[in-house]
Amino acid sequence: MPYRDGLALQEEAVAKRRAGATGDRLLLLEHPPVITLGRNAREENLLLGPAERQAQGLETIAVARGGDVTYHAPGQLVGYLVVDLAAGGKPDVSLFLRGIESALIRALAALQVPARRVPGRTGVFAGARPEASPDRKIASIGIGLRGWVSWHGFALNVDNDVAAFDCIVPCGLQDIEMTSVARELSAGGPGSPASPLGSRARRAVAQAFSSWFAPAAVL
């Protein structure tokens, strides 16, 4: 789905959630290649100029989520969380972010990919424990809030070509490398949305978030 269409879908879902017309929702999508800039994005983290991005067909869109710059492409599973953080009592954004990380770590475990948090860095990193090599980031997280209803969410690299992240400094972090489920499993190069790995990842993520947000609607 084109990224701007995904934004419109989220806008509609957020409006319905704020009106009480629906429950919490998880939207699972994939996008054509696009660079997005969060509220904390810095120009120097774009490694291609406007003309180079245009020549490569890379649209660049500023969005109302936290975080810096990231990249989306087919083979990456993007999850948009439309959740009323105040529904269960006092809202806690930090706890919500940690919950997203936990659900992704559980989903990755189901795919036989050990993953973990890194203190002080939002997102999920491959490997069960710190290693001598740079931290390998497998999922990025950035949310926005409207009246305590969340939107935006996470991007999990499944079988997309992580070399494409060379056009940016991912999340503004110079000392990491990007990885994917396929790379961690040594499953070869980029796949497609219909690949068996893509289908397995979508099911694992849906199940992990369903158990956390039940009775959320998973689309």
Catalytic residue numbers, as ranges: 171
CA dihedral 53, 56, 61, 67 (to 10 degrees): -80
CB-CB contact of 186 with 180 (8 Å): no
| Alpha-carbon gap, residue 106 to 43, rounded angstroms | 34
Distance from C-alpha of 100 to C-alpha of 69, rounded to nearest angstrom = 19
Q: From CA 30, how far away is CA 175, in angstroms rounded? A: 27
Whether omega for the bond prior to residue 170 falls within 30 degrees of 0, making it cis, is no
Question: Which residues, 6+ apart, have CB-to-CB distance to 108 below 8 Å?
Answer: 114, 115, 124, 126, 138, 139, 181, 204
